[in-house]
Structure 1
Amino acid sequence: MSAQNISCLLYQAEQQLLQRQLSDFETLLADDFIEYGTSGQIYHKQLLMDSLTNQNQKGDAGIVISQFHCVQLSTDLVQATYQTKEPLNKNRVANRSSLWRRYQGQWQMCFHQGTLVSQDQE
């Protein structure tokens, strides 16, 4: 698979995760997934899945991805970096980085970090 194809595939996977569907979290997040969120909280796969089940939080909240870029670190490891803007959350902007690992032929996110850049004051 070419670098461009991997980049397109992972962009689509990142977009899917923004839809906050339990089935996507089950397949696209590795079992050992860890996230350092923009809030400073640390999240694991099961915690995120439980929050979807318990709070019924679904939908992408209009989050827009820009400046998406992938770097292949090894045959089975890719870093995706990008910026998000959340129009429904005071236009909050965050820089984001994800590590995607190919496991048994499928790409799964094993790490994610979001760093808050700005937020409109209202």
Structure 2
Amino acid sequence: MTDTEDAVDHVIDAELRLLTPEVRCDADEVARLLHPGFVEIGSSGRRWSREEMLAALGGMFTEADRPRAREVDAARLAESVVLVTYLTEHPGRRVRRSSLWLRDVDGTWRLSFHQGTVAPGADEQP
């Protein structure tokens, strides 16, 4: 496996772990994964700062209703940048997501930017 494949696999794993209640309820783990300059544009259009996200994550969902990721893809855009795109589905909601991960000088990958856009439902035409 190449360094690029290793980086992409590592970032995809980290991204998907952020969808689990176990990680979302662990403020220290989420803080390790989010870049200090993290920003999210949520599917509602709301802008979230790192501090707002850390405060809100714990109670967002349980294992039974957590989003399920499909169509996961990633590309290394530069030595220290990986773009992850995917679709999440959970009851009554589909969201297209994209995330930019940056590698710090110490080699740690951290989520810097995330955006979610509501997608048409399974019974709607795209």
- Number of residue pairs matched by the alignment: 115
Is 1:30 aligned with 2:35? yes
What is the CA-CA distance between 1:2 and the residue it aligns to? 2.8
Shift of 1:59: 3.6
CA distance in 2, matches of 1:101, 1:49: 18
Match of 1:50 among 51, 55, 63: 55
2:86 matched to which residue of 1? 82
What is the CA–CA distance in structure 2 between the aligned matches of 1:72 and 1:11, rounded to whole Å? Answer: 11
State the 1:7 CA deviation: 2.4
Distance 1:75 1:120 in 2: 37
Where do 5+ consecutive residues of structure 1 fail to align? Answer: none
- Which residue type is aligned with residue 95 of structure 1? R
By how many angstroms is 1:9 displaced?
A: 1.3
For residues 8-45 of structure 1, the C-alpha deviation after alignment (integer angstroms, 9 at most, x for no partner) is 21221112211213122100000100000000100011
CA distance in 2, matches of 1:12, 1:24: 14
2:7 aligns to what?
A: 6
Contact kept? 2:98, 2:114, Cα under 8 Å: yes
Give the Cα–Cα distance (whole angstroms) in 2 for the partners of residues 32 and 83 of structure 1.
Answer: 24
TM-score (norm 1): 0.83
* 4+ residue segments displaced more than 6 Å: none
Task: Please list every run of 5 or more consecutive structure 2 residues that lacks an aligned counterpart in the other structure.
Answer: none
Distance 1:10 1:29 in 2: 12
User: After superposition, what is the alpha-carbon deviation per residue over 1:70-90, rounded to whole angstroms, capped at 9, x for unaligned?
Assistant: 111110011111111113xx1
For residue 118 of structure 1, give the secondary structure of its aligned residue in structure 2. coil
Bigger shift: residues 27-36 or 65-74: 65-74
**What is the CA–CA distance in structure 1 between the aligned matches of 2:81 and 2:101, rounded to whole Å?**
6
Q: CA deviation at 1:102?
A: 0.4
Report the TM-score when normalising by structure 2: 0.81
8-17 or 112-121, larger mean C-alpha shift: 112-121
Greater percentage in strand? 1
Q: Secondary structure at the match of 1:18?
A: coil
CA RMSD of aligned residues (A): 1.9
